[in-house]
C-alpha cells in the first residue's frame, strides 16, 4: 500500500481535493445554510424562516413541522391543527424521497457537535469506548413515545438535546447550549459516535423512514474495490456498507439498503476507485445472473490474487 | 447427535434472543418511567409565569405546544419568550411575566394565528375573551387606594376599564370624612393581560396576575346559594316555608328586658 496518512488521501490523490470532499462540503453548506435561514430574522430582521426545526414557516407560506415531535404530541392526546399536520406531511414526503436520515447528516445542528467530537477523538487517538447495540436508539424511541402516552405531555421535549440545542441557537443561547457540551463530551470520552449511533431517538425515527426512502447510496462499481477500508473509516454507521460492498459473493444487490445510512455521501468522497454513487433503491438488482457470476468469480480471483 | 446439538444451540440462541429483548424492553420501560417522572416534576408552572392568550389548561397545553416559538416571533411586543433551561417554566414553552412585559392585547391576536398546532386556540377571535390569568389585589395594606389616596393607576391602564376593573367607593374609616376608591377586579371580565400589575406604582406590585386556578376559590359542588336559587325558580325558595326555630331566652331576664316578647 502507498504511504497514506488519513482516510481519503488516496481519493485526494486520484480525484483531486475538491472531488474527494464534495459531499462533505455540500453537507456543511446545507447545515450552515439552514441554520443561517433561521438566523437572518433574529440577527438582521430579514425574516426568511420563522420558528425552529420543530415547526417553522418559510417566507410566510411554507409550513414545515417535525413529525417526530408531532407524533409525541399526538400520543400525548392532542390532535394538531392542519398547519402542523400539513407541515409534517411535507417533511415526511421529503425525507421518504431523499433518505430518512438526511435529516441527521444535512440538517441536524447536533451533527456539528458530534462530528467535532469524532474529529478530536481521532486526533487524540481515543478508543471506541462504550458500544451498545445499534437497536438501543429504537428502544429509546419506544420509551420516548411511551412517556408521551403515559404522562399526556411532551415529556421527552423537556430533555431532547437536539431540539434544545436548535432552540438555543435560534432564540439565543443560554443554558441550552450546554447540552451541546454534554453530547460532545459523551461522544468524545464515553462512546465514539455514541449519541447519533446508539442513543438519539430522532435519528432512530428518521432511520425507520429511511428503510423505505428512495434515494440511496449504491456500491455500484464494487468490483473495483481495493479493500482500502477508507469508506468504513469515515462512515458514521459502518455496518451499513458491508452488505452492499461485499454482497457480490452472496448475491446481495449494491444498494445500501439499511435505514441507518445517513446518505452523508462521505463514502463517495473518500473512495479513490469511485465505487459509490447516489442511486435509487429500485436499482438493487444484480445486472444479470451470468454477469454476477462473472463478477463474483472475478472478485474471488482478485481476493485470491492478493 | 448433530441434530440434537443444533436444536440445543438454537434453543440457546432463542433464549439469548428473548433475554436480550426482555432486557431492552425493561430498559426502555425504565427510561420511559424516568422521563415521565421528570416531566411530572418539570411541568409545575411558577405562579408569575403566564401563558399566551388561547392556551388551555396547563396539562393540555404541554401536550399541544411543540415549542417552535412561532407565537414568540409574531408577538409584536417583547412580551412572549421561550423558556430557557435555567427558568422554572417547562423548557421551550412560551410565557410572559406581567410585571416585566404584559400582554398588549392585540386585536388581531397574531400569536394565536401563528400557532401551527392549535395549542393556542384558534377559536379565540376576540382578545377580550382571553383568559391568560386573573388579576388579584393581593395586598390591601400597601395598595395606595386602600390608604385613601387616589392612585388609580391599575384601573386607568386596564384595557377593559370599568368592566374588568372598577373603583368601588366606600367610607374612609381613618379620616372619617373622605371616601376610599377600592380597585375591584371582576373575574368574569379580566383577561389576565397583566397591565395593572406592570403599572402598579409600588416597589412590589400590590395587584398581581395569577393563573386562574391559583387566583380563584371554588364553591363546593353541592352548595346552593338560597337567593340565587330563589331567583332561578321564580321567587320560590329552595326550601318552601320559613324554617322558624324556637327562640330561647335566658330563664332570668335582665331588668331592661322585662316584659319583652319575641
Distances in Å between the Cα of A179 and the Cα atoms of A8, A48, A175, B68 are: 32, 27, 8, 18
Cβ separation B67–A154 shorter than 8 A:
yes
A193 and A223, same domain (yes or no): no
Q: How far apart are the first and last CA of chain B?
A: 111
The answer as to whether A30 is a domain residue is: no
A197 and A57, same domain (yes or no): yes
Indicate the pairing of strand A215-218 with strand A62-65: unpaired
The answer as to whether A35 is a domain residue is: no
Question: Domain boundary residue among A155, A181, A209?
Answer: A209
* Residue closest to A220 by CA, chosen among A183, A267, A175, A264: A267
C-beta of residue B155 within 8 angstroms of C-beta of residue B165? yes
A203 and A221, same domain (yes or no): no
Best of A154, A164, A179, A204 to mutate (most B CBs within 10 Å, chain B):
A154
A91 and A187, same domain (yes or no): yes
Rounded average pLDDT over B129-135:
93
The answer as to whether A12 is a domain residue is: no
Q: Which residue of A has its CA nearest to B67?
A: A54
Question: Domain boundary residue among A189, A209, A229?
Answer: A209
The answer as to whether A229 is a domain residue is: yes
Q: Which three cell numbers stand for residue A164?
A: 434544545
pLDDT > 90: percent of chain B: 56
φ, ψ (nearest 5 deg) of residue B95: -160, 170
pLDDT band at A283 (very low <50, low <70, confident <90, very high): confident
Helix (H, G, I), strand (E, B) or coil at B141: coil
A200 and A218, same domain (yes or no): no
Cβ separation A157–B118 shorter than 8 A:
no
Instruction: State the total domains in chain A.
Output: 2
The per-residue pLDDT for range B25-73, each reduced to its tens digit, is 888 888 888 888 888 777 678 888 999 999 989 889 999 999 999 999 9
A with B: how many residue pairs have Cβ under 8 Å apart? 161
A69 and A155, same domain (yes or no): yes
Range of the domain at A234: 214-291
Question: Domain boundary residue among A209, A228, A249?
Answer: A209
Which chain A positions have a beta carbon within 8 Å of B66's beta carbon? 54-55, 65-66, 69-70, 73, 80, 84, 154, 157
Within 10 Å of residue B113's Cβ, how many Cβ atoms? 16
Within 10 Å of residue A74's Cβ, how many Cβ atoms? 18
A140 and A263, same domain (yes or no): no
The sign one gets for the Cα dihedral B212, B216, B222, B227 is: negative
Asked if B60 is an interface residue toward chain A (Cβ–Cβ < 8 A), one would say yes
The per-residue pLDDT for range A52-103, each reduced to its tens digit, is 999 999 998 899 999 999 999 999 998 888 899 999 999 999 999 999 899 9
Helix (H, G, I), strand (E, B) or coil at A249: coil
The answer as to whether A16 is a domain residue is: no
A196 and A220, same domain (yes or no): no
A201 and A259, same domain (yes or no): no
The model's pTM is 0.83
Q: What is the spatial distance between Cα B79 and Cα B119, in angstroms, rounded to a whole number?
A: 18
A69 and A197, same domain (yes or no): yes
Tell me how close the Cα of A262 comes to any Cα of chain B, in angstroms: 24
The answer as to whether A33 is a domain residue is: no
Cβ separation B117–A143 shorter than 8 A:
no
The per-residue pLDDT for range A24-56, each reduced to its tens digit, is 999 999 999 999 999 998 899 889 999 999 999
A57 and A197, same domain (yes or no): yes
A185 and A236, same domain (yes or no): no
Q: What is the spatial distance between Cα B210 and Cα B138, in angstroms, rounded to a whole number?
A: 10
Q: Which three cell numbers stand for residue A266?
A: 462521505
| pLDDT for residue B4 | 54
Amino acid at each position: 500500500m502507498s504511504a497514506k496518512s488519513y482516510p481519503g488521501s488516496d481519493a485526494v490523490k486520484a480525484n483531486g481535493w475538491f472531488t474527494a470532499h464534495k459531499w462533505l462540503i455540500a453537507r456543511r453548506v446545507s447545515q450552515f445554510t439552514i441554520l443561517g435561514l433561521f438566523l437572518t430574522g433574529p440577527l438582521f430582521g430579514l425574516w426568511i424562516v420563522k420558528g425552529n426545526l420543530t415547526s417553522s414557516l418559510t417566507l410566510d407560506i411554507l409550513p414545515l413541522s417535525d413529525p417526530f415531535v408531532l407524533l409525541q404530541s399526538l400520543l400525548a392526546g392532542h390532535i394538531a391543527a392542519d398547519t402542523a399536520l400539513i407541515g409534517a406531511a411535507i417533511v415526511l414526503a421529503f425525507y421518504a424521497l431523499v433518505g430518512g436520515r438526511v435529516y441527521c447528516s444535512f440538517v441536524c445542528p447536533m451533527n456539528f457537535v458530534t462530528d467535532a467530537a469524532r474529529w478530536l477523538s481521532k486526533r487524540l487517538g481515543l478508543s471506541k469506548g462504550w458500544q451498545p447495540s445499534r437497536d438501543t436508539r429504537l428502544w429509546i424511541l419506544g420509551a420516548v413515545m411511551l412517556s408521551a402516552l403515559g404522562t399526556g405531555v411532551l415529556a421527552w421535549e423537556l430533555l431532547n438535546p437536539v431540539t434544545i440545542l436548535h432552540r438555543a441557537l435560534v432564540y439565543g443561547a443560554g443554558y441550552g447550549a450546554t447540552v451541546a457540551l454534554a453530547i460532545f463530551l459523551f461522544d468524545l470520552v464515553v462512546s465514539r459516535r455514541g449519541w447519533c449511533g446508539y442513543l438519539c431517538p430522532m435519528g432512530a425515527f428518521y432511520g425507520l423512514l429511511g428503510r423505505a426512502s428512495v434515494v440511496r447510496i449504491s456500491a455500484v462499481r464494487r468490483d473495483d474495490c481495493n479493500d482500502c477500508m477508507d469508506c468504513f473509516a469515515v462512515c458514521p454507521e459502518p455496518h451499513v456498507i458491508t452488505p452492499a460492498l461485499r454482497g457480490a459473493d452472496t448475491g446481495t444487490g449494491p444498494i445500501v439498503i439499511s435505514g441507518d445510512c445517513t446518505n452523508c455521501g462521505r463514502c463517495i468522497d473518500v473512495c479513490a476507485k469511485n465505487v459509490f454513487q447516489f442511486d435509487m433503491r429500485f436499482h438493487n438488482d444484480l445486472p444479470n445472473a451470468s454477469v454476477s457470476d462473472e463478477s463474483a468469480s472475478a472478485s474471488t480471483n482478485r481476493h485470491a490474487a492478493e | 447427535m448433530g441434530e440434537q446439538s443444533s436444536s440445543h444451540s438454537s434453543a440457546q440462541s432463542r433464549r439469548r434472543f428473548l433475554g436480550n429483548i426482555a432486557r431492552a424492553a425493561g430498559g426502555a420501560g425504565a427510561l420511559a418511567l424516568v422521563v415521565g417522572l421528570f416531566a411530572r416534576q418539570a411541568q409545575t408552572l411558577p405562579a408569575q409565569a403566564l401563558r399566551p392568550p388561547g392556551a388551555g389548561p396547563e396539562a393540555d397545553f404541554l401536550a399541544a405546544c411543540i415549542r417552535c416559538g412561532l407565537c414568540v416571533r409574531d408577538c409584536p411586543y417583547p412580551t412572549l419568550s421561550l423558556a430557557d433551561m435555567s427558568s422554572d417554566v417547562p423548557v421551550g414553552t412560551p410565557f410572559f411575566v406581567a410585571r416585566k412585559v404584559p400582554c398588549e392585547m392585540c386585536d388581531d391576536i397574531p400569536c394565536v394565528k401563528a400557532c401551527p398546532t392549535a395549542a393556542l386556540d384558534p377559536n379565540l377571535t376576540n382578545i377580550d375573551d382571553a383568559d391568560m390569568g386573573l388579576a388579584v389585589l393581593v395586598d390591601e395594606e400597601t395598595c395606595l387606594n386602600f390608604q385613601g389616596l387616589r392612585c388609580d393607576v391599575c384601573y386607568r391602564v386596564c384595557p377593559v376599564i370599568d368592566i374588568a376593573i372598577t373603583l368601588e367607593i366606600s367610607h374612609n374609616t381613618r379620616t372619617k370624612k373622605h371616601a376610599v376608591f377600592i380597585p375591584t377586579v371582576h373575574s368574569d371580565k379580566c383577561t389576565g393581560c397583566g397591565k395593572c400589575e406592570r403599572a402598579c406604582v409600588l416597589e412590589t406590585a400590590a395587584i398581581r396576575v395569577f393563573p386562574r386556578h391559583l387566583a380563584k376559590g371554588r364553591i363546593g359542588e353541592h352548595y346552593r346559594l338560597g337567593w340565587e336559587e330563589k331567583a332561578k325558580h321564580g321567587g320560590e325558595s329552595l326550601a318552601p316555608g320559613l324554617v322558624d326555630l324556637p327562640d330561647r331566652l335566658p330563664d332570668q331576664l335582665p331588668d331592661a328586658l322585662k316584659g319583652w316578647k319575641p
